[in-house]
Amino acid sequence: MLSYSRRFLAAAALAVLTLPVAACTSDKPAPSASGAPSGAPAGSAGPADKGTGEQSKFFVQADYDAQMAMRKAQPTGPSDKPWEQSIDPQLIDTAKYKKAGPYHLCFSNAAVDNPWRQVGWKTMQAEVAQHKEITKFTALDAEGKDDKQISDIAELTGKGCDALIVSPNTTATLTPAVSGACPKVPVIVFDRGVQTDCPVTFIKPIGGYAFGAAAAEFLVDKVPAGGKILALRILPGVDVLETRWSAAKVAFDKSDLQVVGVEFTDGDAAKTKSVVSDYIQRYGKLDGVWMDAGATAVAAVEAFEDAGQPVPPINGEDQQDFLKKWSDAKLTAIAPTYPTYQWRTPVIAALKILKGEQVPKVWNLPQPAITQENLATYLKPGMPPLHYALCGCEDLPGYPEKWGGTS
């Protein structure tokens, strides 16, 4: 064992010696990208008190308007491959990134700590596997740690990648790391964005406002005037979830519905069920349930069943357990989605960029909602309960076993 003190002295001596000689290097990029605007102030307060509380400070009117417009727009691209479609693409030239294959793709993943990311990650791996020109795919999992992802990105930029895909863990805090990678390698960001436009393309579905609005509008449509709505949210302060709620709030504020409660469930099924039971107990009955994510939708439905009440209109997400419940119990429901097929797109985009083909600067993917009409197409018996129907993975090799299903 070398004593620590000796090691330290040596290190210190080395540092002192090299300090004046070696130019002080920094792994941080020159252009400042931090100090971003911390979200525009809240939008208009509701006309009347609908029980929805203050508008989220994450609400940005312009983004909201843009997403509402995109919901109505027609995407371009092959309609049987929504992951290759885009809405209002502003194509940019990528000739300067053109190089001959084979390619080495790298991917800095925020985490694989929830079923949505699991399904997406498997989908991405399968997508990579079907491209022969990708001979190497290096992926690092940041395990939900911002600091690790910053290091991971730095490490990946030094591994000779031809393109770097990033799924940021958080928006603001990953910005410097992404800015640092941009000059060295073409960067593709998806899911969450970063506060810099240096990536070649940013891939995302329409967004959280569209999700929240679709669910809220469905309830406004199905629930009679004056109906009592319970809104269930996972956590406060998560950007992608805040936008969902803020759009729902806009819709509810304009409606005749009464939001009797906005509760946080931590994404815990047991807590969701308890919260819904409490509300049923307190109000006798609820007329609709809005949820910002589908993971605990089944638990909410069960709360009504256990109370011996009919299940009111409700929204979930495209997870199999909810779709199955919906079908079996003949619910009045909708499932807006945040499609996992977006995990295919970055790989496709990377190859396009490396081949010099144009890509959209912001690649808006369509974000369909599952309705009563198309429920049957998305209900896939044999897939695990937490599988996401919009994985776009049915045509990929290894389906369904690789996703945990049985054919």
Partner 1 sequence: MRRALPIFVVLAGLLVAIAVVNPYFLEPTAFLAFVKRAAPLVILAAGQYFVIVSGEFDLSVGSLVTAEVVIAARLIDGSAEATWPVLALMIAFGLIVGLVNGAVTTLLRVPSFITTLGMLLILSGAVFLWTGGSPRGALSEQFRQLGRGSLGPVPWSVLILVAVAAAAVWATRARFGHTLVAAGDNDRAAALSGVRVARVRTVAFMISGLSAAVAAILLGGFAGVSAQVGKGLEFQAITAVVLGGVVLGGGRGSVAAAMAGAFTLEALFTLLNLYGISGALEPAVQGVIIIAAVALGAVRFPRARAAAAS
Partner 2 sequence: MTQQLKLGRVPAGGSLLRRISADRPARPVYVALVLLVVLGWLVFALDGGTFLGQENIVGIQQRSAALGIVAVGQTLVILAGSLDLSVAYLISLTSLVTAEIMAGADSGVPAAVAAALAVSALIGLVNGLIVTRLRVHAFIATLGVALVVRGALDARYDGPAGSVPESFQHLGYDRIGPLPVSALLWAAVAAGAWLLLSRTRLGYRIYAVGGDAEVARLSGVRTERVVVIAHVLCSVCAGIAGLLLASRLGAGAPTVGTDGGYDLESIAAVVLGGTALAGGRGGVAGTVGGVLLLAVLDSIFNQLEVNSFAKDVVRGVILVAALAIYARGRRTR
Q: Does 154 sit near partner 2 (CB under 8 A)? A: yes
| Complex with partner 2: residue 176 or 312, whichever CB lies closer | 176
Which listed option, partner 1, partner 2, none, makes contact with residue 329 (CB within 5 to 8 Å by class)? none
- Residue window 92-111: x/- pattern of binding to partner 1, with contact defined by CB under 8 A: --------------------
Contact between 77 and partner 1 per CB under 8 A? no
385 forms part of the interface with partner 1 (CB under 8 A): yes
Between helix 320-329 and helix 297-306 the angle, nearest 10°, is 30
Q: Does 34 engage in binding with partner 2 (CB under 8 A)? A: yes
With CB under 5 to 8 Å by kind, the binding choice for 57 among partner 1, partner 2, none is partner 2
**Shortest separation between residue 285's beta carbon and partner 1, angstroms:** 15
Q: Do 170 and 145 form a contact (C-beta atoms < 8 A)?
A: no
Please, what sign has the CA dihedral across residues 113, 117, 119, 122? negative
The upper half-sphere exposure of residue 112, i.e. CA atoms within 13 Å in the direction of its Cβ, equals: 15
Question: From the CB of residue 357, how many other CB atoms can be counted at a distance below 10 Å?
Answer: 15
Q: Exposed, middle or buried, 377 (CB in 10 Å: 0-12/13-18/19+)?
A: exposed
Of 344, 403, 392, residue with least CA distance to 129: 344
Burial 287-298 (b: 16+ CB within 10 A, else e): bbbbbbbbbbbb
Whole-number Å distance between alpha carbons of 267 and 248: 19
Which phi-psi region, left, alpha or beta, contains residue 188 (left: φ > 0; alpha: ψ -120 to 50)? beta
| Euclidean distance between CA atoms 340 and 345, whole angstroms | 10
Q: Which is nearer to partner 2, 237 or 284 (CB)?
A: 237
The tokens of 75 are what?
């995407």
The CA distance from 130 to 269, in Å, is 37
One symbol per residue from 248 to 287: x for binding partner 1 (CB under 8 A), - otherwise; what is it?
Answer: ----------------x-xxxxx-xxx--xx--xx-----
Q: Which residues from 160-219 bind partner 1, rule CB under 8 A?
A: none
| Of positions 141, 217, 287, 318, contacts partner 2 by CB under 8 A | 141
CB nearer partner 1, residue 192 or residue 273 = 273
Using CB under 8 A as the binding rule, the residues of this chain from 284 to 303 that contact partner 2 are none
For residue 110, the tally of other CB atoms under 10 A from its CB is: 23
- List contacts with partner 2 (CB under 8 A): 1-6, 8, 11-12, 14-15, 18-19, 22, 24-28, 32-36, 38, 57-58, 111-113, 138-141, 143-148, 150-152, 154-155, 158-159, 169-173, 175-176, 180, 236-239, 242
- List contacts with partner 1 (CB under 8 A): 112, 114-115, 118-119, 121-122, 236, 264, 266-270, 272-274, 277-278, 281-282, 295-296, 298-299, 302, 306, 321, 384-386, 404
